[in-house]
Structure 1
Amino acid sequence: MPTTRRDLFKLGALAAAAAAFPAAAARAATPRVERAARPLRILILGGTGFTGPFQVDYALARGHRVTLFNRGSRPSPEWPGEVEQLHGDRNKGELGALEGREWDVCIDNPTSLPFWVRDAADVLQGKVGQYLFISTISVYADGSRPGIDEDAALADYRGADAMAETMESLRADMSLYGPLKALSEAEARRRFGERATIVRPGYIVGPRDETDRFSYWPRRIAAGGEVLVPGDGSDPVQIIDGRDLAEWMIRLAENGTTGTFNAVGPDYRMSTDAMVHGIHAVTGGPVRFTHVPAEFLAAREVGFGGELPVWFPAAHEYGGYGQVDNTRAIAAGLSFRPLATTVADLLAWLGGLPAERQAEQRAGMSRERETELLRAWQGHRQAAG
């Protein structure tokens, strides 16, 4: 069946919460980097999920002092330097460990509920110089429009706050994900004013991505054979390596950069064909790509964004998600690893996971479904002459 807005928000929330394995075993090594001109005291709310460990690695490499605040429910990683660890459950309002402390910067990674921002502000307002909030492009009201920039209208969040008072209630109705993120942004601006930085990523990919959304494509292409490619190959797609996002956020903190930014990549228009052929350049092996029109797939209830992750046809209600404007972020220093690097590192990370996890596919279509669709498309073409 087609992917609904509810399904899409589920995938987005899973990305934010993903991290089933210890960080030390999951993250790729941070290349040697120069020390920052001025060391900062950085508080990271979360820090053990998808991008958090990359933030910690890069911050330590740059010479910053890092404090993490989270529930402590995941195994403590072996960081490449000293990291202070504080514990508390924000869903229960347990922020006492932050009281009476000061930091230069706070990076808020996991927040999807506005009261988390309010509670953090009650403790941190006047105690941090800058507040960086990780949001999402799902905040935009119209995902179909090409060239969405940071000034585009946001999703209507009126009443959303009262409808999702806990993470459990949010999980029960993921259609609130975008509106609640928009409301959280508004709360961040209200409480931290000009010291707030709002970062809106799209699809975050690479090592540590537990959603398998982008990972579906390298794994499928590496398996070889006939691969179904949706559309005519010209539809744009956008992704950002989690390490590029994490390291850029540390640089935003170092530079004191505030404002709102679409954190999507790459810095050129990447088509679906460019993505799959770029992946194949890394995986190698015999592959035959077969384009299947979006209309044909839609008629057979293929889930765009789910069964065929990352991609949406340009005319889809989320077709704009492959064409989001990242001009402002690039001007603020966002840079991107080559696709080949992301793919190679992702496959290496996947290869190090337990066998049962490697055998699991959390996104994308099954081989049986793909074969069925390819045969149907071949039959359709033959019947059409």
Structure 2
Amino acid sequence: MRLLILGGTEFVGRAVAEEALARGWEATVFHRGRHDPPEGAAVLRGDRTEAGGLAALEKGEWDAVVDTWSGEPSAVRDAARLLAGRAGHYAYVSSRSVYSYPAEPGLDEDGPVVDASPDDGRVDYARAKRGGELAAVESFGDRAVLARAGLILGPRENVGRLPWWLGRIARGGTVLAPGPRGLELQYVDARDLAAWIADAVEGGLGGAYNLVSRPGHATMGSLLEACVRATGSDAGLRWTDPGPILDAGIEPWSDLPIWLPPGELHDTMHRGDVSRALAAGLRCRPVEETVADTWAWLRSLGGRAPRRPDLPPVGLSREAEEEFLLSR
């Protein structure tokens, strides 16, 4: 297989490139040159946000393209149109955010989606991802596969969610653990997402797939307890009901990454139907492996994870956590 990855140097795109290389495929990464490409990958340089930025893609043929773009749908449109006659399949890494909010528990790929256009410029995340989907389908039709991921974790995460929890738990002491302990989580390890995408383009799949684990593959309890074991920390998890946390003004998802209290938003994020993806071969490794491998990667960097500059930092400050715990 000859695979072109639009991106390919960070998190999901890099996981796809490394998966392709591990399979013995020819992998080409198209990127802006801000990060080192995976060893063994061919490199094309360009910035798809600039006039003439796709010039490096005007020649060449590939069996499949993987596009992880999260910005303007028009950028996906332009790339897909340029490559349509020279690539077999187009895999677009989308998001379950494309579904109209709130998404009912058990919603499958046929659920209602937000209004969007492949010609959109800068729009909110949900419309950007839906517009990107439409752009891929516009040029590739049933040769476009739409990988609707949800929460993505694993080594090289550059958002900071799991790295924050690992860093906080490694510090030890009493840790505010948002409950309930058995709260179900639905996510995908970037490496499992990459493996599924590689299988999908090799097998010629098309259409939309919800690409996350089954609901309850992990819980807040199993995730945070795995963090304690991986770090070897003496941290004590103080499980706390959602009510007091919310009353204190502590924000789910941003102050306490990954966590959403039971309710509409949690159901939207963590209770989607994934039977189509499972039937198409999705396999999700245990949460303990994702956590341990992410910790090993963090340690190789001296504990300081890279972070996307376009996103705000996540995680509760030490002072805010201590103030809350003292009040309980």
State the TM-score, normalized to the length of structure 1. Answer: 0.77
Identical pairs, percent:
37
Q: 1:97 to 1:206 in 2, by over 3 A?
A: same
Is structure 2 residue 171 aligned with structure 1 residue 223? yes
Query: Over aligned residues, Cα RMSD in angstroms?
Result: 2.3
Q: 1:180 to 1:137 in 2, by over 3 A?
A: same
Distance in 1 between residues matched to 2:173 and 2:219, nearest whole Å: 21
1:287-302 mapped onto 2 (5 Å cutoff): 287-302=235-250
Shift of residue 374 of structure 1? 1.7
Residue 141 of structure 1 is matched in structure 2 by 100
Shift of residue 266 of structure 1? 5.3
Shift of residue 152 of structure 1? 1.6
Q: 1:153 to 1:215 in 2, by over 3 A?
A: same
Distance in 2 between residues matched to 1:110 and 1:309, nearest whole Å: 23
Is the Cα–Cα contact under 8 Å of residues 77 and 118 in structure 2 kept in the other structure? no
Q: 1:336 to 1:158 in 2, by over 3 A?
A: closer
Deviations 1:45-78 (A, max 9, x none): 111111222222221221211122122232344x
Q: 2:314 aligns with which of 340, 354, 363?
A: 363
Is the Cα–Cα contact under 8 Å of residues 130 and 256 in structure 1 kept in the other structure? yes
Larger radius of gyration: 1
1:143-222 mapped onto 2 (5 Å cutoff): 143=102, 145-157=104-116, 161-162=120-121, 164=122, 176-222=124-170
Residue 10 of structure 1 is matched in structure 2 by none
Distance in 2 between residues matched to 1:323 and 1:367, nearest whole Å: 31
1:54-69 mapped onto 2 (5 Å cutoff): 54-69=15-30
Letter in 2 for 1:59: A
Distance in 1 between residues matched to 2:316 and 2:133, nearest whole Å: 34
Is the Cα–Cα contact under 8 Å of residues 312 and 322 in structure 1 kept in the other structure? no
Distance in 2 between residues matched to 1:143 and 1:326, nearest whole Å: 17
Is structure 2 residue 34 aligned with structure 1 residue 73? yes
Secondary structure of the 2:161 match is coil
1:1-385 mapped onto 2 (5 Å cutoff): 40-77=1-38, 79=39, 81=40, 83-93=41-51, 94-143=53-102, 145-157=104-116, 161-162=120-121, 164=122, 176-265=124-213, 268-354=216-302, 362-376=313-327, 378=328
Is the Cα–Cα contact under 8 Å of residues 267 and 336 in structure 1 kept in the other structure? no
Shift of residue 309 of structure 1? 0.8
Is the Cα–Cα contact under 8 Å of residues 180 and 241 in structure 2 kept in the other structure? yes
Deviations 1:80-103 (A, max 9, x none): x3x321122111142222224221
Q: 1:285 to 1:103 in 2, by over 3 A?
A: closer
State the TM-score, normalized to the length of structure 2. Answer: 0.90
Q: 1:370 to 1:319 in 2, by over 3 A?
A: farther
Unaligned runs of 5+ in 2: 307-311
Distance in 2 between residues matched to 1:43 and 1:195, nearest whole Å: 15
Q: 1:212 to 1:204 in 2, by over 3 A?
A: same
